Amino acid sequence: MRPVLTTAIFRAAAFALLAAFAASPSGPVAAQGSDLSPFLQGCAEIADLRKRLACYDSLTDRKPPAPAPGPARPAPSSPDRAPAAPGMPSPPTADPRPRPTGEPINCRAELQCWGERHLATANAYCKDSIDRLANDATRWSDAFHETRFSRLRWLDRSKGTLTFIGDKVEFRTASGSYQPHRYECDFDPENNRVTGARAQPGRLP
């Protein structure tokens, strides 16, 4: 209900109540010193009517409550990715960066990678150094497709130098027989240089 309409109703009701009290023999304007309790009662009823109308206006002008927010809608999944089944973890996202192929970038820091990379070079360079350790002839027992070294270790990791180890050689003794020997060859891959070689009778354990 609009405030103008409420005011009109209030005025009409007030005039009706005042007219009713004025028409009574003991009306509020009958004589000076007359009983004013009917008039005051009418004023109280008018005030009560005004409060009721104001309360009605506040109820009719009240806006309806806003609807409660519903459950959050899930974000749409990527078109190239199927949604995960309930209770199952989502598949990992593929890394868009290209992955290196072949040997790792830090090959020099990994013994196996660094050794395999320079094995063929050490196989060629170390042979002469090991042959010179014999007092007489040498005989290699490795096949054409085999390498002379089966093990390796770091000589100096900070410098990238390696020690290749094998047991595919036989040294001829003074009696003319051949005796198996195990050997080590220290190799500097960055300079393709043999820095040391050792041999002793026996096979690798």
How do the domains of the chain map onto residue ranges? 3-61, 107-201
Q: Can you tell me the distance from the alpha carbon of 142 to that of 2, in angstroms, rounded to the nearest whole number?
A: 110
Give me the mean pLDDT over the 27-51 stretch: 53
Least confident of 6-20, 29-43, 120-134: 29-43
pTM for this entry: 0.49
**Cβ atoms 184, 165 nearer than 8 A:** yes
Interval 142-189: pLDDT, tens: 877 788 999 999 999 999 999 999 999 999 999 999 999 999 999 999
Q: CA dist 98 to 18, 106, 112, 113, Å?
A: 95, 16, 24, 21
Q: Can you tell me the distance from the alpha carbon of 170 to that of 131, in angstroms, rounded to the nearest whole number?
A: 10
Interval 64-110: pLDDT, tens: 556 666 666 665 554 445 555 555 544 443 444 444 455 456 899 99
Query: What pLDDT does 94 receive?
Result: 42
Least confident of 7-21, 114-128, 183-197: 7-21
CA dihedral 198, 194, 121, 100 (to 10 degrees): 110
Query: What pLDDT does 145 receive?
Result: 75
CATH topology of domain 107-201: Nuclear Transport Factor 2; Chain: A, (3.10.450)
Query: What pLDDT does 105 receive?
Result: 64
Percentage with pLDDT > 90 across the chain: 44
Query: What pLDDT does 43 receive?
Result: 55
